[in-house]
């Protein structure tokens, strides 16, 4: 148990005489024998009362959904007051989508407004008593992911819960209870109404999870992929398409996700731009009529296909300029890894360029997925390490040389992103 969280709970209970528990993901993970990512506290104390008990360490954050961050040497314990299920919007009483979520309530009400039964357990760390208002312990035992209350209603209230269901089911290896699954399939079209940054955040989490392959297969099966990433769903074709080319295309996409998972298991944390690039690489290469294995296409065509596919997506999903620009550039740069050095192309300058690290990460994933080019990857890794040690004068010299020889920017290099 986390000592800082214990301190928070102890002060709330003993000095403030409030109810206070560990709650949510940390209780679930502790019971499953997994290491919790963070320890959240829920309490009957109001934000102001929490703050008064921790005058120096506590900070009230959030305008609408106010909670208190209590910080011990940079380690934050998020402490929230029990809330009840939101009331329906008065303007549109039939619309279930949650708009306001900030009314205080009891511990039981707080449990019931949460998403899944396994996420709604309260643990008193001193008595070691677990408060289970929703049958979470039983589902945890059975390895079952189930919404609290009526699945269709809960998914309609917040369709991002569909993505969260996929995340928890794949991460924990849980089965999805059948009414919950049916509701996911039925309400997947509503994901189009959810706030885009939340959707983007969940997609990125799934990609970094180490179970991206299973997660994306599940997204496709419930129809969510069709709604959130229609280009990719199209690219994968129909499940039963007899055309071997379609099957092959889908296969290379799944293999890239498999490679990403292997990379995560080997201890890498993929850059968000690399994750986006993995998602769209095959769609872009296909649009540029590129042969996946030889990576042979006019460079300009890849650059423009990358921009054409990724820019609308980045806009719609509010991707940061940094991530979308980088994703486009590292896809375009892939051909550099197999280019022979010339007067215009200095491997040293390339290895020292801004996007090299992420471009090489993408190349590694491609090598893993296609099962070739690993030797090329290792060669570049070696060159990269050498380049770190090379004196600045050497780089300057190589830069001058390529600049002089290749008067213009070599064709196909992505244009620098606007500031």
Please report, as ranges, the residues that interact with Mg ion according to CB under 5 A: 25
Residue 13 touches which of ligand ATP, Mg ion, none (Cβ within 5-8 Å per kind): none
- For ligand ATP, the closer of residues 35 and 389 by Cβ is 35
- For the bound state, the minimum distance from the C-beta of residue 178 to ligand ATP, rounded and expressed in Å, comes to 20
**Segment interacting with ligand ATP (CB under 6 A) among 153-161, 318-326, 397-405, 411-419:** 153-161
Of the two residues 116 and 380, which places its CB atom closer to ligand ATP in the complex? 116
What burial class does residue 294 get, using C-beta atoms within 10 Å of its C-beta: 0-12 exposed, 13-18 middle, 19+ buried? exposed
Binding mask 86-125 for ligand ATP (x = CB under 6 A): ----------------------------xx---xx-----
Closer to Mg ion by CB, 25 or 58: give it.
25
From ligand ATP, Mg ion, none, interface partner of 19 (C-beta below 5 to 8 A by class) = none
Applying CB under 6 A, among 11, 24, 77, 191 the residue interacting with ligand ATP is 24
Q: Which stretch binds ligand ATP (CB under 6 A): 157-165, 278-286, 324-332, 365-373?
A: 157-165
Task: For ligand ATP, give the closer residue by CB, 24 or 58.
Answer: 24
**Which of positions 160-179 make contact with ligand ATP (CB under 6 A)?**
160-161
State which of positions 252-311 bind ligand ATP (CB under 6 A).
Answer: none
Residue nearer to ligand ATP on the CB measure, 132 or 361: 132
Residues touching ligand ATP: how many (CB under 6 A)?
Answer: 11
Partner whose footprint covers residue 158, from Mg ion, ligand ATP, none (CB < 5 to 8 Å by kind): ligand ATP
Compute the least distance from the CB of residue 33 to Mg ion, in Å: 17
119: partner contacted, choices ligand ATP, Mg ion, none (Cβ within 5-8 A by kind): ligand ATP
Cβ proximity to Mg ion, 136 vs 299, nearer residue: 136
The Cα 358–Cα 373 span in angstroms is 17
Residue from 15, 17, 33, 37 touching ligand ATP (CB under 6 A): that is: 37
Query: In this complex, which beta carbon is closest to Mg ion, that of residue 80 or of residue 362?
Result: 80
Q: Which residue has the tokens 């079209």?
A: 189
Evaluate whether 339 touches 333 at the Cβ level (below 8 Å).
Answer: no
- Using the Cα atoms of residue 163, residue 37, residue 195 and residue 147 in order, give the sign of their dihedral: positive
**Which among Mg ion, ligand ATP, none contacts residue 364 (Cβ within 5 to 8 A by kind)?**
none
* Residues making contact with ligand ATP (CB under 6 A): 24-25, 37, 40, 114-115, 119-120, 158, 160-161
């Amino acid at each position: 148990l986390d000592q800082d969280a214990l301190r928070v709970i102890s002060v709330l209970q003993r000095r403030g005489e409030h109810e206070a528990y560990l709650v949510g993901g940390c209780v679930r993970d502790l019971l499953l024998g997994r290491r919790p990512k963070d320890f959240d506290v829920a309490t009957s104390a109001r934000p102001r009362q929490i703050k008064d008990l921790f005058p120096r360490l506590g900070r009230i954050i959030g305008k609408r959904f106010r909670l208190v961050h209590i910080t011990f040497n940079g380690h934050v314990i998020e402490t929230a007051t029990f809330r009840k299920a939101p009331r329906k919007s008065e303007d549109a009483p039939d619309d279930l989508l949650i708009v306001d979520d900030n009314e205080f309530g009891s511990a039981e009400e707080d449990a019931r407004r949460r998403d899944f039964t396994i996420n709604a357990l309260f643990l008193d760390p001193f008595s070691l008593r677990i408060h289970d208002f929703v049958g979470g312990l039983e589902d945890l035992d059975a390895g079952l992911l189930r919404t609290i209350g009526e699945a269709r209603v809960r998914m309609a209230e917040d369709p991002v819960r569909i993505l969260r269901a996929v995340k928890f089911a794949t991460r924990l290896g849980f089965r999805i209870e059948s009414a919950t699954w049916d509701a996911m399939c039925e309400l997947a079209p509503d994901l189009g109404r959810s706030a885009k940054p939340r959707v983007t955040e969940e997609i990125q989490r799934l990609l970094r999870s180490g179970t991206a392959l299973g997660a994306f297969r599940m997204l496709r099966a419930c129809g969510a992929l069709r709604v959130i990433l229609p280009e990719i769903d199209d690219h994968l074709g129909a499940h039963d398409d007899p055309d071997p080319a379609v099957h092959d295309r889908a296969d290379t996409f799944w293999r890239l996700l498999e490679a990403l998972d292997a990379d995560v298991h080997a201890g890498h944390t993929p850059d968000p731009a690399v994750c986006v690039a993995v998602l769209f690489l095959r769609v872009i290469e296909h649009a540029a009529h590129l042969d996946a294995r030889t990576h042979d296409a006019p460079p300009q065509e890849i650059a423009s296909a990358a921009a054409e596919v990724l820019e609308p997506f980045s806009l719609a999903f509010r991707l940061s300029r940094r991530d979308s620009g980088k994703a486009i550039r590292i896809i375009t740069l892939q051909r550099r890894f197999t280019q022979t050095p010339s007067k215009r192309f200095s491997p040293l300058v390339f290895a020292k360029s801004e996007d090299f690290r992420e471009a090489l990460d993408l190349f590694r994933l491609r090598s893993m997925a296609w099962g070739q080019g690993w030797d090329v990857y290792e060669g570049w890794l070696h060159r990269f390490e050498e380049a770190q040690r090379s004196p600045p004068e050497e780089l300057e010299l190589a830069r001058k040389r390529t600049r002089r020889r290749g008067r213009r920017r070599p064709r196909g290099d992505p244009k620098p992103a606007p500031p």
